[in-house]
Amino acid sequence: MLTVYGIPHCDTVKKARTWLAEQGLEFQFHDYKKQGVPADRLDAWIKAVGWEVLVNRQGTTWRKLDDAIKAGVNDADSAKALMLANASVIKRPVIEQDGQVKVVGFDEKKAAVLVDQRP
């Protein structure tokens, strides 16, 4: 089963959800705004892909942060604290398949692995 984590009004998340549906892939959506960031999953994501991949330093949310806060994000623990406090700083979407991170962000070429690994 696929799980898509993100924010429903994010253009990249919308694009990913539309693409997954067009591929005939079933998924459940986890809304950070309503359901929060699952701390246990965040730990697994950090272990799997690294905090550097998860923190979206290109996004508006990151750019609006105080410089001192940005400077304080320098390891997994500080990144985790920031991501739990402000879900919008997480690169979206995070797509898991059976509990394993498959895609962070969205690109059709990278997401093709989900079609290839369809059960």
Task: List pLDDT tens digits, range 91-108.
Answer: 999 999 999 999 999 989
Q: What pLDDT sits at residue 113? A: 83
Q: What pLDDT sits at residue 119? A: 57
Tens digits of per-residue pLDDT, 33-69? Answer: 999 999 999 999 999 999 999 999 999 999 999 999 9
Catalytic residue among 6, 8, 10, 40: 10
Is 10 a residue of the active site? yes
**Alpha carbon 36 to chain centroid, angstroms:** 12
Give the chain's domain count.
1
Asked if pLDDT for residue 86 goes beyond 70, the answer is yes
Q: What pLDDT sits at residue 38? A: 94
Q: What pLDDT sits at residue 118? A: 62
CATH number at residue 64: 3.40.30.10
Which structural domain, as residue segments, surrounds residue 108? 2-116
